[in-house]
Amino acid sequence: DTKTRNRFFSVNVPMNNNGRSFNFLLTYSAIGVEDQLEAERTSDYAQKAANSEAISLVTSTKFSSPLQTTLTLSRYKVQIPLPSSVNVSENESRLTTVGGNASYGLWGGKAKLSGGISLLNATGISQFTFIGLSGGGEVKLFGSFVLRTSVSTKIKSTDEGTEVGTLAVKLSANYLF
């Protein structure tokens, strides 16, 4: 009683130039659901499947120095199934994400510092904003023994106010035999 259409497109473009490597990844995905029996259904019937659409662009760069960067942009839209008596524009939720990360190697690859920031903005049915911050480092002490530490937080903002949603501190010691 439903007809689903899936569309997917992805293109990856790697490039090298003067000791730098770049990678660009563009992805598009859409799922469309059509109720074949919509005319026969009562007005309080809610379709179980949702229409959605997503597009993302991810770029990464590795420089001739020990610097590496990543930038992510994405947009996701979903129509939440509601009874047919509800206007279509009232059941959409849209998520937009922007994020950037960087890492820098030190002491000939024996250590690395990293950091990042991200923004997630939701509009439509749900309205909120998350800001994520992260940082960390790792040190290869000897052989395969590595110490890592990282700190991350997510700050949530809504109409009611702004608050720190999560705060995480991770410490780890790894040894590969």
**Alpha carbon distance 175, 144 (integer Å):** 5
* Phi–psi pair at 18, nearest 5 degrees: 50, 50
Q: Which residues contact 37 (CB under 8 A, 6 or more apart)?
A: 1
pLDDT on residue 161: 86
The DSSP code sequence of 34-53 is EETTGGGS-TT-B-SS-EEE
Q: In percent, how much of the chain has pLDDT > 90?
A: 53
Q: Comparing C-alpha atoms, which of 166, 171, 83 is closest to residue 132? A: 166
Q: Is the pLDDT of residue 61 over 60?
A: yes
pLDDT on residue 91: 75
- List the structure tokens of 76: 């996701």
Average pLDDT across the chain, whole number? 87
Q: Is 45 exposed, middle or buried (0-12, 13-18, 19+ CB in 10 A)?
A: middle
pLDDT on residue 40: 75
- List the structure tokens of 160: 């009611």
9-37: average pLDDT: 89
Q: Is the pLDDT of residue 109 over 90?
A: no
34-46: average pLDDT: 70
pLDDT in tens, 65-94: 899 999 999 999 988 776 666 665 567 889
pLDDT in tens, 122-175: 988 888 999 999 999 999 988 789 999 999 999 998 888 888 888 899 999 998
With cut-offs at 50, 70 and 90, classify the pLDDT of residue 12. Answer: very high
